Structure 1
Amino acid sequence: MGKILEVKGLHVSFTTFGGEVQAVRGVSFDLYKGETLAIVGESGCGKSVTAKSIMGLIPNPPGKITDGKILFKGSNLAALKDKDLRKIRGADISMIFQDPMTALNPTLTIGTQLVEGIIQHQKISRSEAQKKALEMMRLVGIPSTESRLKQYPHQFSGGMRQRIVIALALVCEPEVMIADEPTTALDVTIQAQILDLFRDIQKKTGVSIILITHDLGVVAQVADRIAVMYAGKVVETGTRRDIFYKPQHPYTKGLLNSVPRLDLENAELIPIAGSPPDLFAPPPGCPFVARCQYAMEVCDKVYPLKTKYGKEHHVNCWLQDERAKQMLASQR
């Protein structure tokens, strides 16, 4: 599989009355054709800001991409003007937002919103655009498409609204789709249906998906690779099997220990103690140092280098350094 999107050293900051919030600090990852990459981490770690940076949706002011590149089809999206980004946004790269009710315009019919998106990016007639809208509604599992096309968002259930938002994201046949917490507002049964829909659509269209979530249950079902974010940085990346069965970063292990286990008798949830660092003045070393039971003196002063743990498994943690391994071995 070839790379379709590359994010290199992305930095995003927000200017506030209290100072500069360094929301994303040197994030790098690749997305391959036809795969699902999940970006996971607790609230406030920079997942959604990273996604909106790719789409060019960071409001300036107060936000700004201060450094880094977002490479797509030979273009650096971080350096493009808004008029050039509009040609890509929705057509080549689309996004599913967290709340389907606020993502849809309550004053316009579903048909109008779907058709206008198609006409905006593709030079086809309104009747052809309407046919395409009906096809997309059928693809995402909306029944009685002709009558539904004339209805308003409030006439749909939560699950149906989410399907419409997915249809809006896919109607122009994008190569990359970003899904920001697409199942958060849905009950468990509807969540399962939406995840099945993602798998089915990806199989039919070959779209590459970036899934933004904090729900590791969702990640376990759909992700091919996982990037774990903490305090604006990617601290570990790997395949689904790497992250779930061979986690190396203490934060990744903490996330997994915080997930309820129904397969183990008398299993206890082990929360991660402490709070994330202040991103007005982030620590120079590992951002997890104040909450890590394995922290060493170097962790507080120098950010750890990336260590290759497997073919696609990388981790930024001083525990992976050979000197740390020797020290820990001598203490046993």
Structure 2
Amino acid sequence: MEKVLEVKDLHVSFKTYGGEVKAVRGVSFDLHKGETLAIVGESGCGKSVTSQSIMGLIPEPPGKITGGQILFKQRDLTRLKEAELRKIRGADISMIFQDPMTALNPTIAIGEQIMEGILQHKSISRAEAKKKTIEMLNLVGIPSPQSRLKQYPHQFSGGMRQRIVIAMALVCEPDVLIADEPTTALDVTIQAQILELFKDIQNKTGVSIILITHDLGVVAQVADRIAVMYAGKVVEAGTRREIFYNPQHPYTKGLLNSVPRLDLDGAELVPIPGSPPDLFAPPVGCPFAARCKYAMEVCDRVYPSKTHMSNEHNVDCWLQDERAQNMLAMMGR
């Protein structure tokens, strides 16, 4: 499959009064044309910082991309000037932020807000921009779009506002859409509608989607591949089926065990004990070792090498190392 985006060994830090926070520590992944890649993990694991790095939205100072590459159409986005990034941002790569109310200007009609993006990036007339806006509102399921162009954000429900934000992100027909926790502020029924909308839009436009979320229930419905992040690193990555039915990292298993299951009557949620490590001084070994019931002496001392379970599935865990597997086989486990 054609690669639309490649993130290679990305490092992002933030300078604070307390020291340097190493928020992203060597993240790598690919995004293919027409697929949905979900990046999952707890709050503070670095997933939103990764997405903001792709968009060129890391505030400098205090933030800084200290290493790695973000390749889009053979161009390294980390080396582009702000003026060059502005041409790409919104036109080729768009982002949907967490809260639709903060993404929309309450003092400007929604038609004007959507048209602003088209007029900035496309050489078309206002009449053509208006026509495109109506088409996009229709695509995302806003009823009677022409009559609602002059309405303001407060005149729409939360679910409708999220649809408008999606329309804004897609109006310039980007190659990549980044959705950062797009269903967090919505109730369950609206969440399902928005996720169905993502799949429908992807089928119609072929856009590649990066879905940032902590909710594995969301991931199960829409993701083709999943990258599990912990303490600034991707600790496991694979297809949706591999991650859900054959998870290998103890953290991934912990996330899955903490999701409510309707198919298991009376099943209890199992929380992951402990807290994530302090990223002012990240551990030299596996960052999950302090919370892992399977941790070995080597886990604290050396970061595990990547083990390839299949062509698409890899994990950073000493338990999957060939030497550990041989030892477990000798012990009859």
Do the structures match in fold with TM over 0.5? yes
**For residue 191 of structure 1, what is the aligned residue in structure 2?**
191
Decide which moves more: 215-224 or 265-274: 265-274
**For residue 112 of structure 1, what is the aligned residue in structure 2?**
112
**For residue 75 of structure 1, what is the aligned residue in structure 2?**
75
In the TM superposition, what are the counterparts of 1:107-256 in structure 2 within 5 Å? 107-256=107-256
Tell me how far 1:323 sits from its aligned partner.
1.1
The amino acid of 2:274's aligned partner reads G
Tell me how far 1:297 sits from its aligned partner.
1.0
The amino acid of 2:86's aligned partner reads R
Decide which moves more: 207-216 or 321-330: 321-330
The amino acid of 1:114's aligned partner reads I
Establish whether residue 313 from structure 1 lines up as the match of residue 305 from structure 2. Answer: no
Tell me how far 1:301 sits from its aligned partner.
1.1
- SS of 1:238's equivalent in the other structure is strand
Give aligned-pair identity as a percent: 80
Any runs of at least 4 consecutive aligned residues in structure 1 with deviations exceeding 3 A, and if so which?
Answer: none
Structure 2 distance, partners of 1:163, 1:221, is 18
**What TM-score, normalized by structure 2, do the two folds share?**
0.99
- In the alignment, structure 2 segments of 5+ residues that lack a partner are none
- SS of 1:44's equivalent in the other structure is coil
| CA distances 1:164-198 after superposition (whole Å, capped 9, x unpaired) | 00000000000000000000000011011101100
Structure 1 distance, partners of 2:265, 2:148, is 47
Establish whether residue 14 from structure 1 lines up as the match of residue 20 from structure 2. Answer: no
In the TM superposition, what are the counterparts of 1:262-273 in structure 2 within 5 Å? 262-273=262-273
Tell me how far 1:266 sits from its aligned partner.
2.2
| CA distances 1:115-145 after superposition (whole Å, capped 9, x unpaired) | 1110000000111101100100000000111
The amino acid of 2:278's aligned partner reads D
Establish whether residue 5 from structure 1 lines up as the match of residue 10 from structure 2. Answer: no
- SS of 2:200's equivalent in the other structure is helix
Structure 2 distance, partners of 1:269, 1:145, is 43
| CA distances 1:28-54 after superposition (whole Å, capped 9, x unpaired) | 000000000000001110010000000
Establish whether residue 60 from structure 1 lines up as the match of residue 66 from structure 2. Answer: no
Structure 2 distance, partners of 1:87, 1:119, is 12
Structure 1 distance, partners of 2:322, 2:218, is 35
Structure 1 distance, partners of 2:133, 2:268, is 48
Structure 2 distance, partners of 1:127, 1:112, is 12
Decide which moves more: 213-222 or 322-331: 322-331
The amino acid of 1:268's aligned partner reads E
The amino acid of 2:232's aligned partner reads G
**What TM-score, normalized by structure 1, do the two folds share?**
0.99
Tell me how far 1:325 sits from its aligned partner.
1.2
Structure 1 distance, partners of 2:183, 2:215, is 9
**For residue 38 of structure 2, what is the aligned residue in structure 1?**
38
In the TM superposition, what are the counterparts of 1:251-330 in structure 2 within 5 Å? 251-330=251-330
Structure 2 distance, partners of 1:208, 1:143, is 26
- In the alignment, structure 1 segments of 5+ residues that lack a partner are none
- SS of 1:26's equivalent in the other structure is strand
| RMSD of aligned Cα (Å) | 0.7
Tell me how far 1:331 sits from its aligned partner.
3.1
**For residue 93 of structure 1, what is the aligned residue in structure 2?**
93
| CA distances 1:287-327 after superposition (whole Å, capped 9, x unpaired) | 00100111111111111111100120000111111111122
Tell me how far 1:329 sits from its aligned partner.
2.6
Structure 2 distance, partners of 1:24, 1:157, is 35
Structure 1 distance, partners of 2:310, 2:268, is 30
The amino acid of 2:298's aligned partner reads V
Tell me how far 1:10 sits from its aligned partner.
0.3
